[in-house]
Amino acid sequence: VMTQSPATLSVSPGEGVTLSCRASQSVNNRLAWYQQRPGQVPRLLIYDASTRATGIPDRFSGRGSGTEFTLTISSLQSEDFAVYYCQQYNNWPPYSFGQGTKLEIK
Amino acid sequence: QLQLQESGSGLVKPSQTLSLTCAVSGGSISMSGYSWNWVRQAPGKGLEWIGQIYHVGNTNYNPSLASRVTISVDRSRNQFSLKLTSVTAADTAVYYCARDAGYLDLWGRGTLVSVSS
């Protein structure tokens, strides 16, 4: 089971933010982060816990291993206000997603 | 550039079978190192992994859906398909197909399937 916290985060543009994802058992570093803007398709941001996917700006960074992971966005842009999901791919099937963290404009 | 496109019925009656196809263009479904997945998202909810298939036909399913799900591949048409039987209103969702290298790096645009009489 993947647990994300908090469920909602209110942040001002330009600020930095850190989102958390916790696994109920170790997933090693096999953890991905996705961004889903309203009405859009999920987009891969980070895989293997800390590797940015192609075309992802370096203001996005991922850290962690085992059961504790974080996604940090260093300076929020307007397009970053979205829902973020973590997903583990170490203990499968099934792949499991967190319930999501919604970043909203303060 | 590889692209995925879902197609199928957008409205299914309760107890009937949901059928969707994902067409892969710009590359071969037989490329090594990938599986082909279905993920769904109920309205206002999070993402739920349904299952996956490799080009040789091996499949894995979410245990919560396994009794009702079949994923198949048609290499000649470069596409893979989802069948979900005995649907209820709880199966109403946007259904996405996605390429998988462990993580889901390429997604289709999604298709909304509503279950209603």
> pLDDT tens-digit profile of B60-86?
999 999 999 999 999 999 999 999 999
User: Which residues in chain A are contacts of B63 at CB distance < 8 A?
Assistant: 93-94
A51-104: pLDDT as tens digits: 999 999 999 999 999 999 999 999 999 999 999 999 999 998 899 999 999 999
**Res A79: pLDDT:** 95
What is the mean pLDDT of the segment spanning B89-105?
Answer: 96
**Res B87: pLDDT:** 98
- Give the chain A residue nearest B4 (alpha carbons): A41
Pairing of strands A43-47, A51-52: antiparallel
Distance linking the first and last C-alpha atoms of chain A: 30
Categorise residue B55: left if φ over 0, alpha if ψ from -120 to 50, beta otherwise. alpha
pLDDT above 90 coverage of chain B, percent: 92
Question: How far B46 CA lies from chain A's nearest CA (Å)?
Answer: 6
Do A95 and B108 count as a contact with CB atoms less than 8 A apart?
Answer: no
CB contact, 8 Å: A18 with chain B?
no
Do A42 and B51 count as a contact with CB atoms less than 8 A apart?
Answer: no
Question: How far A45 CA lies from chain B's nearest CA (Å)?
Answer: 9
**Res B32: pLDDT:** 84
Cα(B33)–Cα(B26) distance, integer angstroms: 17
Pairing of strands B69-74, B59-61: unpaired
Do A85 and B47 count as a contact with CB atoms less than 8 A apart?
Answer: yes
Number of A/B CB contacts below 8 angstroms equals 60
Name residues 77-96 of chain B within 8 A of A (Cβ). Answer: 96
Give how far Cα B93 sits from Cα of A83, A92, B59, B75, B84, Å: 17, 23, 22, 27, 12
Nearest to A20 by CA among A63, A58, A66: A63
Do A93 and B63 count as a contact with CB atoms less than 8 A apart?
Answer: yes
**Res B33: pLDDT:** 87
3-state SS assignment for residue B90: helix
Does residue B55 have a pLDDT over 90?
no
Cα(B117)–Cα(B115) distance, integer angstroms: 7
User: Which residues in chain A are contacts of B101 at CB distance < 8 A?
Assistant: 47
Computed over every residue of chain B, the mean pLDDT equals 96
Q: Which residue of A31, A41, A50 is the best one to mutate when testing the B interface, meaning the one whose CB has the most B CBs within 10 A?
A: A41
